Structure 1
C-alpha cells in the first residue's frame, strides 16, 4: 500500500505541526508519512507537545523545528498533501505551497498563546489541540484516495475543516 506524504505547516514548527507529523506517522491506517515545518521555525520543541508525542511512543524521523524551505528544495520528498495549521483568527498567515500537492488549511489556535498561569490549563490547551488533530487525521485516513481525482480529493480535504467548525 502506498504511503502518502503529508507536510504539516505552522508558524514556529514547535507544537501544532510537530504533533500532526507524529500523529500522521503513527496513524493506525499506516497510510501516511508525516513531515512538518514552519514559516519561522523556533529553536526548540514545546515541552507539552513533546510530552504528548512521547505518550504515543513515536518511533519516526527525529522531531525538530525546521524551515519549510527544507521541503521546497529540489531533492526534497514530493508531498502528496500540504496542510497548514496556522491560526487565521490569531493573525498567522497560512503559507502558500508551490507545486501540485493537494492543500488544505485546518485552523488551529496556537496553544502557546494560552493566557493562563496554571500548567494544568496550558496542558489542557495542548491536549485539546492533540485531540483535534487526531480527529482530522482520522477523517483524512478514511478517505479512499485511489477512487478520487485531484479535484474531488481537494474538495474532500477542504470538507474536513468545514465540517468540524
Structure 2
C-alpha cells in the first residue's frame, strides 16, 4: 500500500514543493511505494522560480507541480495521508485541518531561502534543496510499510534531532 506524505508550508511555493519533488524523485529512483504531495494554508498560487531552477539543476522532473491549498487534502476522496510534515515555522504554528486516520505529524523546519539577498538566493535554494533531499532519503530508509503509527512517529521525531 502506498505511503502518502503531505508536506505543508504556508504559501506552498518553495520549501514544501522542494520536499514534495525530492521525495517523489527519490522514491521513484529507489523503487519505494511512497507518494508525496504538498500544500499550503494560504497558497501563493505559483511556485517560486528559484525552487524550479534548483530542482531542474538537480535533474528532478518539475512537471505537474503547482501551489495549492491544504483544503484539497482534507476533502472526502482525497488520498489518505500516513505522514504530514510541516517545513516552515508559520505553518507549524497554524491549526491544521483534521486529517483522517490520524497520520504521524512532524515539523522539520527550514529557513526560507526566499529571504536570502538576491545575489545569494540561488545558492540558498540549492542548499535548502540539498538539506531537504538528505532528509527525504533518510525517510525512505525507514521500513514504512512495516511500522505502526507509534513507531513511525518515534522514528520521525528521532530524525528531527539530526
> What TM-score bracket applies, with the shorter chain setting the length?
0.7 to 0.9
How many pairs align? 154
List runs of 5+ in structure 1 lacking aligned partners.
none
Alpha-carbon distance, 1:127 to partner: 0.8
Asked if structure 1 preserves the Cα contact closer than 8 Å seen for 2:13 and 2:48, the reply is yes
Q: 1:52 corresponds to which residue?
A: 54
Between the two structures, name the one with larger relative contact order (CA 8 Å, sep ≥ 6).
2
Are 2:4 and 2:35, in contact at CA under 8 Å, matched by a contact in 1? yes
Q: Within 5 A, what are the aligned runs for 1:1-165?
A: 2-27=1-26, 28-31=29-32, 32-55=34-57, 56-58=59-61, 62-87=64-89, 92-94=90-92, 95=94, 96-98=96-98, 99=100, 100-114=102-116, 116-118=117-119, 121-162=120-161, 164=162
Cα drift, residue 159 of structure 1: 1.1
Q: 1:83·1:104 contact (CA, 8 Å) conserved in 2?
A: yes
Give 1 or 2: higher helix fraction: 2
After TM superposition, the score normalised by the length of structure 2 is: 0.88
Residues 42 and 150 of structure 1: is their aligned pair in 2 closer, same or farther, counting only changes over 3 Å?
same
What is the RMSD of the two structures over their aligned residues, measured on CA atoms?
Answer: 1.6
Q: In the aligned structure 2, how far is the partner of 1:71 from the partner of 1:51?
A: 27
Structure 1 outlier segments of 4+, above 3 Å: none
Distance 1:7 1:30, change over 3 A: farther
Q: 1:147 to 1:75 in 2, by over 3 A?
A: closer
Normalization by structure 1: what TM-score?
0.86
